[in-house]
């Protein structure tokens, strides 16, 4: 039985006896696609089946795509990690933020993790409005002295930097910097109307506020699944939170970051990837329950990490259980997407564990 067949059987089981609705899994090994499977339904009301071109909201999993855009611009000399954001976005200097660097934004030490007050969905979905209010935020502590996950604000900070440098909106940059070089589609930050019917509907029965562990996410935006089922939310660009893609596009993005890339295309040079995935461990205060495994815009692997057992592995996970990562130790690039939230055991852990076992059995 091939690895593709094994993973198809696993996803079939999880969507029939495992309580899941719709799942997708894709994986590349050393630049070759070895798995691209889906199972279940994208919408329980219609019963439409998940296919290879079904699109899933992936929440924070999409932060890695924005980081990749920033690193590609840095690779071409369009920006630098130690460059103050205010050099390209002067309004950002308000309230003592003039020295905050692009690297600090990637590393979540900018000091403005919380959502601005006095806004609602209409403002959230308006790029210019959100950049204006984010630029006016006051740091909660001296920038660069404390790590605190910027769950939503990081998207506008880094996205507006990229827009100011290039003149292009973030959604277009994702297409130009990631999708076009890799000759793929199905990765969006703000979907076009034409793909709306392909987007999976999210389910989150029994939602409780505790499901959203980060206090930087306001109550009025929750449940996040309900928000992302709204067409307006899917069409807006909220780069830290509302990326929509297929598992295959997610995996192919990470394959493009591994040595040798995919189909001869490397999104970043190996030296740039090494720089972006270097463990950041300066003597900083770390907020309560904050992740300590940061590179520049990517989370890093380690003991018990889904990304891989060494810090050479890197990726990002999203609310509800989607995940994408690259594990250079075995040449693995993976994307996993789903639409049913709230199970006790992380389905992604089960799927990745089974895939790694299948790869080992096959000699990878």
Q: Which helix (H) or strand (E) holds 361?
A: helix 347-361
Give the separation between CA 154 and CA 151, rounded to whole angstroms.
Answer: 7
| CB within 8 Å of 26: residues ≥ 6 apart | 33, 35, 36, 37, 246, 247, 248, 250, 251, 252, 334, 335, 336
112-to-100, 150, 281, 293 alpha-carbon distances in Å: 10, 7, 20, 20
What's the CA gap between 135 and 156, in Å, rounded? Answer: 9
**DSSP states along 331-350:** TEEEEEEESB---SS-HHHH
Q: Considering 46, 51, 52, 60, which one is annotated as catalytic? A: 60
Q: How far is CA 79 from the centre of its chain?
A: 21
Please state, in angstroms and rounded to a whole number, the distance separating the CA atoms of residues 8 and 25: 9
- 105 in helix, strand or coil? helix
Active-site annotation holds for 60: yes
The residues that are catalytic are 60
């Amino acid at each position: 039985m091939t690895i593709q067949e094994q993973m198809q059987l696993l996803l079939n089981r999880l969507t029939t006896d495992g309580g899941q609705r719709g799942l997708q899994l894709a994986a590349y090994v050393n630049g070759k696609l070895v798995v691209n499977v889906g199972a279940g339904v994208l919408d329980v009301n219609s019963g439409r089946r998940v296919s290879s071109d079904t699109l899933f909201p992936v929440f924070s999993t999409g932060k890695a795509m924005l980081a990749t855009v920033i690193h590609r611009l840095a690779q071409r000399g369009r920006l630098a990690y130690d460059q103050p954001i205010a050099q390209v976005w002067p309004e950002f200097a308000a309230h003592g933020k003039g020295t905050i660097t692009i690297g600090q934004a990637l590393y979540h030490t900018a000091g403005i993790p919380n959502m601005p007050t006095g806004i609602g969905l209409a403002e959230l979905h308006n790029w210019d409005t959100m950049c204006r209010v984010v630029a006016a935020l006051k740091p909660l502590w001296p920038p660069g002295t404390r790590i605190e996950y910027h769950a939503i604000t990081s998207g506008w900070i880094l996205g507006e930097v990229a827009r100011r440098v290039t003149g292009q909106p973030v959604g277009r940059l994702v297409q130009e910097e990631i999708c076009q070089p890799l000759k793929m589609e199905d990765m969006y930050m703000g979907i076009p109307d034409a793909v709306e019917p392909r987007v999976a509907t999210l389910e989150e029965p029994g939602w409780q506020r505790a499901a959203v562990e980060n206090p930087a996410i306001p109550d009025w935006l929750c449940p996040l699944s309900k928000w992302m089922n709204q067409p307006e939310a899917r069409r807006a660009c909220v780069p830290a939170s509302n990326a929509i893609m297929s598992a295959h596009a997610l995996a192919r993005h990470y394959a493009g970051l591994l040595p040798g890339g995919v189909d001869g295309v490397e999104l970043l040079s190996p030296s740039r990837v090494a720089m972006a995935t270097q463990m950041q461990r300066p003597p900083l205060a770390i907020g309560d329950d904050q992740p300590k495994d940061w590179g520049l815009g990517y989370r890093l692997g380690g003991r018990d990490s889904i990304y891989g057992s060494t810090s050479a592995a890197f990726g990002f996970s999203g609310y509800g259980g989607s995940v994408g990562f690259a594990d250079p130790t075995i040449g693995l690039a993976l994307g996993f997407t789903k639409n049913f939230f709230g199970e006790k055991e992380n389905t992604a852990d089960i799927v990745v564990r089974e895939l790694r076992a299948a790869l080992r059995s096959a000699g990878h």
